[in-house]
C-alpha cells in the first residue's frame, strides 16, 4: 500500500463518470440518488486503490470483500463497476428491466456484488462471519462493510460491533457513509447519533473520522489499516447527501428521485458546473 | 377519503390513538403537525417500535404503527408475536407496499409471506383491502377491534364501488356457475378485468373480494367452491400459507373437496421492476389471469396498469 495517493486526478475523473451514471439511472422509475452520490467517492476510492478486487479474482477466496449494507446506494456501485470493467456499461440501460437484474437494491446476479441487501442492518453480521472465517483460516484478506448513518438506528449494527470486538476482528472495516440524513430528515433531528466516534470507541473499535469526499483523506485513513491490532476498524466518512449536484445537496425531499428527461439533461450539466437545474418533478417519492 | 385523512380524523377524535412509524412517513406525511406528541417516529427500528407500541397499549393506547410490509411482518415478527400477540394487545400494523407493490425494490422488500406469518399468530387479525375505498371502509372496524391487527395497505384506486364492510365477511361481487375467483388486495383490480374477459368468452363468473383473511369468511369459500365448477385463488403471496392454504383448510375442516386453480408465487420471489412490468412478467395481468383460466389466448386487450406514485 502506497503512502501517498498516486492518482487523485484519475480518481476524480472516475468519480465524475460514476456520478453521470447515477444521474442517468434516476429516471424512468428512478433510484435513490442522494445516498448514491454521497457514497460515490468512497466506493470509487476503495475499489480503485484499497481493495484487491478485480474482474479476474471474483471467485478467489483470497480476494478482499466489500459488502454494501445500506443497499439503496447501489447505483454508485453499478457506476463504479461499469467504469472499472466489472460490468458492461451497456447493461446500465437495463435498469428496472425484467430482462436484467439491475434494480433498486444489490443482488448477486451482478458480478462483484457479494451479497444482496436492502433490509438495513444485515450485512454487518454477514461481513462479520466472513471476517471470522478468514481469521480461522489465517488469511490476510480485508473485509469492508459500508453502512448508512440512518442504518445505525437498527440494533443489529451495534450487535455486530459488540461481537467483532469480542472476536478481535481487526480484518473487518465498518465504513459509515455519514451523510447526515436518513430518508425523511437530518439524522440529528430524529434519532441523534453524535458523538458517533465516541459511541464506536466505547464499543471497543479503533475509529477514524474523515472527509469522505477527499481522496487524500480516504487514502491516509485506509493506509493505516489495520488501525490497531485486535480491534475492529471503523471509518466514519463525513459526506454530503446529493454531493456534486448543488440543487439537491442536503435536501430532505430528494431521497428517492424519478427525474424527467429534461431534468436529467440539466443535472448532467450541473454536475460539470455548467448550469443550475430547475427541478419540477414531484418531490419525496417514498418507496 | 384517503388513509391519512381517516387516520387523522380518528386520532383527533380518540385520545387513545397513537400514530407511530419506523421512519416510513409516506402514509402519515402531515400527521406530526396535527397530533403533536401522539405522533412517534422511532427511526429505523422496527423491533423497538413494536415493543414500544406494546408498552403504549399496556397503558390503554391504540398504537397504529407504520413500516414497510416486509420489515413489519418479518424483521419485527417475534416482537409482534411476543409483545402484541401473547398479551393480545391492540397494536395496529399498517404495512406499506405489501406483495407486488414493492415493485422494483427486490426480494428484501417483498412481503409475500406476510399473510401466512401473521395469521399464524394467535389473537392476530389479518386484512387485505382491494383498493383505497375498501381500505377506508374497513379500517374503522379494524382499529376498533380489541385484538392486534395486520393490514396490507392498498391505496390504489379502482372503479369498483364496494359494499359496506361487515366484520369478517367477504364481499361477494358476483356469483358464477363456471368459475369463481377468490382474491384480495392489489390483484382485485386485475380480477375485475379477468372477469370481463371470461364473461365475454361466455362463462358464468363469480368474484369474491376476501377482505379479511383472519377471521376468514368460511361461508363465502364454501359457497364458491361448492357452486362453481372451478375456484381460482388469486394472490400476490407465496403459495404456502396464503389464500390457497386457507381454502384447503376450510374445505378439509368441512370434509369437502373442490377443483381449485391456485394463482400465486410458487417457491420464488418475483422479478423486480415497475409494477406494470412485474405483473406482465409474472403472469398476473387481468388478461393473463383470464387466459390461464380459459386455457387459451383471447383477442382481449389488457388495460393500462397505473405505476404506483407514493409521493406526497
If you compute the radius of gyration of chain A from its CA atoms, what whole number of angstroms results?
A: 18
Does residue B161 sit within a domain?
no
Q: How many domains does chain A have?
A: 1
Provide, as residue numbers in chain B, all residues whose Cβ is less than 8 Å from the Cβ of A191: 42-45
Report, as an integer, the average pLDDT of A200-222: 98
**Predicted confidence (pLDDT) per residue in A19-29, tens digit:** 999 999 999 99
- Mean model confidence pLDDT for chain A: 95
Nearest 5°: CA angle at A170, between A175 and A118? 35
Q: How do strand A31-32 and strand A256-257 relate by DSSP bridges? A: antiparallel
HSE-CB for B143 with a 13 A CA cutoff: 24
CB contact under 8 A, A182 and B281: no
Residue B9 shares a structural domain with residue B141: yes
List of chain B residues whose C-beta atoms are within 8 Å of the C-beta of residue A283: 311
- Tell me whether residue A93 is in a domain: yes
Among B205, B210, B199, B191, residue whose Cα is nearest residue B285: B191
Q: Is the pLDDT of residue A4 over 80?
A: no
Residue A283 belongs to a domain: no
Q: Is B249 on the interface with A (CB under 8 A)?
A: no
> By three-state DSSP, how is residue A236 classified?
strand
- pLDDT higher than threshold 90 for residue A86: yes
In a domain, A287, yes or no: no
Residue B255 lies inside a defined structural domain of this protein = yes
Model confidence over B206-216: pLDDT tens digits? 999 999 999 99
Mean pLDDT along residues A77-98: 97
Q: Domain range spanning residue A190?
A: 8-271
CATH of the domain at B18: 3.40.50.970
| Residue B242 falls inside a structural domain | yes
Residue B304 burial (10 A CB sphere; 0-12, 13-18, 19+) = exposed
Q: Let me know if residue A280 belongs to a domain.
A: no
Does residue B311 surpass a pLDDT of 70? Answer: no
For A92-118, what is the mean pLDDT? 96
Per-chain mean pLDDT for chain B: 97
- Reduced to 3 states, what is the DSSP secondary structure of residue B229? coil
B76 CA to centre of own chain: 18
Contact residues on chain B for A286, CB-CB shorter than 8 A: 24-26, 310-312
pLDDT digits (tens, 9 = 90+) for B104-159: 999 999 999 999 999 999 999 999 999 999 999 999 999 999 999 999 999 999 99
Q: Which CATH number belongs to the domain containing residue A152 in this structure?
A: 3.40.50.970
Domain that holds residue B112: 3-152
Across the range B68-76, mean pLDDT stands at: 97
Inside any domain, residue A61 = yes
* Any domain includes B300: no
Give backbone dihedrals phi and psi of A188, rounded to 5 degrees, phi first: -70, -15
* pLDDT attached to residue B312: 32
Q: What is the CATH number of the domain that holds B280?
A: 3.40.50.920
Asked if residue B310 has pLDDT above 70, the reply is: no
- CB pair distance less than 8 Å for A284 and B312: yes
pLDDT > 70? residue A158: yes
What pTM was computed for the model? 0.94
Q: Enumerate the residues of chain B whose CB falls inside 8 A of the CB of residue A105.
A: 105-106, 108-109, 272
pLDDT category at A1 given cuts 50, 70, 90 is: very low
Give the residue among A220, A191, A206, A208 at the shortest CA–CA distance from A161: A206
- Please check whether residue A2 lies inside any domain of the structure: no
Do B141 and B227 reside in the same domain of the chain?
A: no
Judge whether B309 lies within some domain.
no
ipTM: 0.91
Q: What is the pLDDT of residues A40-81, one digit of tens each?
A: 999 999 999 999 999 999 999 999 999 999 999 999 999 999
**Mean pLDDT across the stretch B33-53?**
97
Please name the residues between 81 and 110 in chain B that touch chain A, using a CB distance below 8 Å. Answer: 97, 102-109
Please report whether residue A264 resides in a domain.
yes
Portion of chain B with pLDDT greater than 70, in percent: 99
Residues of chain A above pLDDT 90, percent: 90
Whether A188 has its CB under 8 Å from any CB of chain B: the answer is: no
From residue B176, how far is each of B18, B171, B190 by CA, in Å? Answer: 44, 14, 18
* Nearest-CB residue to A98 (from B43, B75, B273): B273
Q: Are B298 and B197 in contact (CB under 8 A)?
A: yes
Residue pair B181/B205 in contact by the 8 Å Cβ criterion: yes
Counting the structural domains of chain B, the total is 2
Amino acid at each position: 500500500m502506497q503512502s501517498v495517493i498516486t492518482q487523485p486526478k484519475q480518481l476524480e475523473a472516475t468519480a465524475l463518470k460514476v456520478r453521470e451514471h447515477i444521474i442517468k439511472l434516476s429516471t424512468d422509475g428512478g433510484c435513490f440518488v442522494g445516498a448514491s452520490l454521497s457514497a460515490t467517492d468512497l466506493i470509487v476510492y476503495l475499489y480503485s486503490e484499497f481493495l484487491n478486487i478485480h474482474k479476474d479474482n471474483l471467485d478467489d477466496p483470497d480476494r478482499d470483500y466489500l459488502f454494501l449494507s445500506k443497499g439503496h446506494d447501489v447505483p454508485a456501485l453499478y457506476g463504479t463497476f461499469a467504469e472499472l470493467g466489472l460490468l458492461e456499461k451497456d447493461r446500465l440501460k437495463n435498469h428496472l428491466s425484467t430482462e436484467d437484474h439491475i434494480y433498486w437494491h444489490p443482488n448477486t446476479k451482478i458480478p462483484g456484488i457479494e451479497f444482496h441487501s436492502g433490509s438495513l442492518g444485515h450485512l454487518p453480521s454477514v461481513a462479520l462471519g466472513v471476517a471470522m472465517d478468514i481469521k480461522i483460516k489465517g488469511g490476510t484478506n480485508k473485509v469492508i462493510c459500508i453502512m448508512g448513518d440512518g442504518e445505525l438506528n437498527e440494533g443489529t449494527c451495534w450487535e455486530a460491533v459488540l461481537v467483532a470486538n469480542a472476536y478481535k476482528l481487526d480484518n473487518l472495516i465498518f465504513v459509515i457513509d455519514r451523510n447526515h440524513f436518513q430518508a425523511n430528515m437530518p439524522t440529528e433531528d430524529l434519532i441523534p447519533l453524535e458523538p458517533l466516534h465516541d459511541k464506536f470507541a466505547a464499543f471497543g473499535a479503533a475509529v477514524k473520522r474523515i472527509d469522505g469526499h477527499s481522496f487524500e483523506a480516504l487514502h491516509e485513513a485506509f493506509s493505516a489499516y489495520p488501525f490497531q491490532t485486535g480491534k475492529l476498524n471503523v471509518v466514519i466518512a463525513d459526506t454530503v447527501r446529493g454531493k456534486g449536484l448543488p440543487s439537491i445537496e442536503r435536501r430532505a425531499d430528494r431521497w428517492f428521485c424519478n427525474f424527467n428527461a429534461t431534468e436529467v439533461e440539466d443535472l448532467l450539466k450541473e454536475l460539470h458546473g455548467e448550469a443550475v437545474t430547475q427541478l419540477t418533478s414531484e418531490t419525496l417519492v417514498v418507496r | 377519503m384517503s388513509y391519512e385523512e381517516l387516520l387523522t380524523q380518528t386520532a383527533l377524535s380518540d385520545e387513545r390513538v397513537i400514530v407511530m412509524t419506523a421512519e416510513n412517513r409516506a402514509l402519515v406525511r402531515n400527521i406530526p403537525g396535527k397530533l403533536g406528541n401522539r405522533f412517534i417516529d422511532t427511526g429505523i427500528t422496527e423491533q423497538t417500535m413494536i415493543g414500544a407500541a406494546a408498552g403504549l397499549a399496556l397503558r390503554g393506547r391504540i398504537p397504529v404503527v407504520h413500516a414497510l410490509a416486509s420489515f413489519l411482518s418479518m424483521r419485527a415478527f417475534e416482537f409482534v408475536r411476543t409483545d402484541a400477540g401473547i398479551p393480545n394487545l391492540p397494536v395496529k400494523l399498517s404495512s406499506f407496499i405489501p406483495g407486488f407493490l414493492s415493485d422494483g425494490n427486490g426480494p428484501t422488500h417483498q412481503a409475500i409471506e406476510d399473510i401466512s406469518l401473521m395469521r399464524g399468530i394467535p389473537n392476530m387479525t389479518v386484512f387485505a383491502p382491494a383498493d383505497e375505498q375498501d381500505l377506508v371502509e374497513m379500517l374503522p372496524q379494524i382499529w376498533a377491534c380489541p385484538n392486534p391487527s395486520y393490514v396490507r395497505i392498498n391505496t390504489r384506486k379502482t372503479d369498483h364501488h364496494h359494499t359496506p364492510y361487515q366484520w369478517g365477511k367477504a364481499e361477494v361481487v358476483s356469483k358464477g356457475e363456471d368459475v369463481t375467483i377468490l382474491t384480495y388486495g392489489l390483484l382485485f383490480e386485475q380480477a375485475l378485468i379477468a372477469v370481463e374477459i371470461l364473461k365475454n368468452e361466455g362463462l358464468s363468473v363469480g368474484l369474491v373480494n376476501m377482505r379479511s383473511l383472519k377471521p376468514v369468511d368460511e361461508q363465502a369459500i364454501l359457497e364458491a367452491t361448492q357452486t362453481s365448477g372451478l375456484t381460482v385463488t388469486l394472490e400476490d403471496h407465496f403459495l404456502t400459507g396464503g389464500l390457497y392454504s386457507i381454502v384447503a383448510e376450510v374445505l378439509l375442516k368441512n370434509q369437502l373437496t373442490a377443483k381449485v386453480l391456485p394463482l400465486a408465487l410458487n417457491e420464488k420471489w418475483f422479478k423486480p421492476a415497475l409494477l406494470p412490468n412485474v405483473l406482465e412478467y409474472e403472469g398476473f395481468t387481468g388478461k393473463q389471469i383470464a387466459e390461464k383460466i380459459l386455457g387459451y389466448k383471447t383477442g382481449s386487450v389488457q388495460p393500462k396498469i397505473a405505476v404506483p406514485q407514493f409521493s406526497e
